[in-house]
A = this chain, B = another copy of it.
Amino acid sequence: METSDSVTAAGSAIGSSPALRRLSLADRARLNGHVPAVLWFTGLSGSGKSTLANALEVRLHQQYAAHTFLLDGDVVRTGLNKDLGFSPEARTENIRRIGEVARLFYEAGLITLVAFISPFRADRDRVRALFPPGGFFEIYVNCPLEVCEQRDPKRLYQRARAGEVAAFTGIDSPYEPPRRPELTLDTAGTTPEACVGQALALLVQAGLFKA
């Protein structure tokens, strides 16, 4: 058996530079009951990225017993990327690191939900290139700026308009919408429940749970 061989190979070979057999993606998919994927939610502040990603993660956990993780500003900006600010260079490095972390979670076999404004197309495309075809789903959380600004859950638009926050996406820093996202969710005209349903349908259709 493949994995039995690995134990033997690894166990008998300290210091002799063996070609170590690691657990494969297939081993992990068998254990999890699904293949890995990265679901990348991009959109303006207040568009609903984190809310939808969180609701989708809970559904994946409850309904599919899927092995998941959610990466967003709350968990990344306070830890791994706490050394980074909000200059264009720092934003690019922020997204680069998040992409690399998502790749590690992908290799670990998880369905990883990522919710970041990630305003620059080039940054998102560099992340996409880390994954095999079918492994990366760009989900555009589309919502008019006026609606986002009216919601303003963190009072960030208010502060940006008052000049207290510089280079705020949608106000004085650009947002570049995806050209060919795997899915677009219109959160101004669709209920959150329906948005989550659309995302789930996409994942089922893509064959994630056929492993």
Identical copies in the complex = 2
A171–B194 Cα distance when bound, in Å, is 61
A172 on the B face (CB < 8 A): no
A145 on the B face (CB < 8 A): no
Residues of B within 8 A of A97 (CB): 80, 97
Contact status A20-B50, CB under 8 Å: yes
Q: How far is the CB of A46 from chain B (nearest CB, A)?
A: 5
A18–B48 Cα distance when bound, in Å, is 12
Contact status A55-B7, CB under 8 Å: yes
A31–B34 Cα distance when bound, in Å, is 14
Contact status B108-A69, CB under 8 Å: yes
Contact status A59-B7, CB under 8 Å: yes
Interface residues of A (CB under 8 A from B): 3-4, 6-7, 10-18, 20-23, 27, 31-32, 46, 48, 50-52, 54-55, 57-59, 61-62, 65, 67-71, 75-76, 79-80, 97, 100-101, 103-105, 107-110, 130, 147-148, 150-154, 187, 191-193, 196
> A14-B187, A80-B104 in contact; A22/B54 too (CB < 8 A)?
yes
Which 3 interchain pairs have the tightest Cβ spacing? A15-B151, A17-B153, A10-B55
Most buried by B among A54, A107, A148: A54
